[in-house]
Amino acid sequence: MKKSFYTYLLFIVLVGQVSCKSNQKNEKVESAQSIPNVSTEAKAEVVNDAKEWLGLIYDNNYSQSWDNAASLFQKAVTKEQWTQQLSGIVPPLGKVISREVISAEYHTELPGAPDGEYIVIQFKTSFENKNESIETVTQMKDGDQWKVSGYFIK
């Protein structure tokens, strides 16, 4: 199973490939600046939270990443499944060398997910053993907090 992690998929929880599918379906995509209840500062905070969540994964704190995820995420995959999946895929990548934000887009509809508030963030990430990857983290409004509801890496 390790052969595929270099080319495609770490794990999809509900909304992994949102950006591609949204553009293909011509769904309405709005920037955070045009949404009155998501300020630029709030969007920046959501992006920083996503980076911190990714930090948990690449510091081998898989259980904590599950604990900090949205309830929708936790209903889609058990903690045991999540930690098992990550423990077979993350270590071979090695340490994170760099991670930079490519985009952060606000959505109210995503394929395969209930309507709600989402910010889909893409990072260009380099690892010790993989030069270029695109990580997609989907943050959703879960109660009154933004939490991760999806993660995809290719």
Q: What distance in Å separates the CA atoms of residue 6 and residue 72, rounded to the nearest whole number?
A: 27
Q: What is the pLDDT of residue 37?
A: 59
CB 135 within 8 A of CB 125: yes
What CATH code would you report for 28-153? 3.10.450.100
Q: 26-35, 78-87, 113-122: which range is least confident on average?
A: 26-35
Q: What is the pLDDT of residue 133?
A: 95
Geometric angle at alpha carbon 53, from 9 and 141, rounded to 5°: 95
Closest CA to 145 of 70, 75, 52: 70
Chain-centroid distance of CA 88 in Å reads 18
Q: What distance in Å separates the CA atoms of residue 80 and residue 66, rounded to the nearest whole number?
A: 9
Closest CA to 70 of 131, 21, 137: 137
Q: What distance in Å separates the CA atoms of residue 104 and residue 42, rounded to the nearest whole number?
A: 12
For the chain, domain boundaries: 28-153
pLDDT tens track for 63-112: 999 999 999 999 999 999 999 999 998 999 999 999 999 999 999 999 98
Q: How confident is the model at residue 41 (pLDDT cuts 50, 70, 90)?
A: confident
Whether 29 shows a pLDDT value over 50: the answer reads no
Q: What is the pLDDT of residue 11?
A: 39
Q: Which three-class secondary structure state does DSSP give residue 133?
A: strand
